[in-house]
Amino acid sequence: MKLHLTTPLPPSVNHYLGTKIINKNGRPMSILYETNEARKYKKQFKKYIEEQVKIQEWESSLDKAQHYYCDCVFYFDRIDKDPNNYFKCSLDAITETQLVWADDNTVCERVNRILYDSSNPRIEFDIYPVEYIGIFDNIESLSKFEDKCEKCIRYNRNCSILRKAKEGRIQVEITNLQCSKYKEKKEN
Domains annotated for the chain, with CATH where assigned, are: 3-129 (3.30.1330.70), 139-179 (no CATH)
**Rounded CA separation 100/3 (Å):** 9
Compute the mean pLDDT over every residue in the chain, rounded to the nearest whole number. 92
Q: Give pLDDT tens digits for 149-182.
A: 888 888 876 889 999 999 899 999 999 999 998 8
Could you tell me which residue, 64 or 30, shows the higher pLDDT?
30
Residue 91 has pLDDT above 70, yes or no: yes
**Rounded CA separation 101/121 (Å):** 26
Beta bridge partner(s), residue 179: 174
Lowest mean pLDDT among 67-71, 72-76, 176-180: 176-180
The percentage of the chain sitting over the pLDDT mark of 70, rounded to a whole number, equals 99
Residue 64: its pLDDT value, please? 81
**Rounded CA separation 180/173 (Å):** 5
Full-model pTM: 0.84
**Rounded CA separation 10/73 (Å):** 14
- Output the CA angle 108-114-120, nearest 5 degrees: 110
Lowest mean pLDDT among 68-82, 125-139, 155-169: 155-169
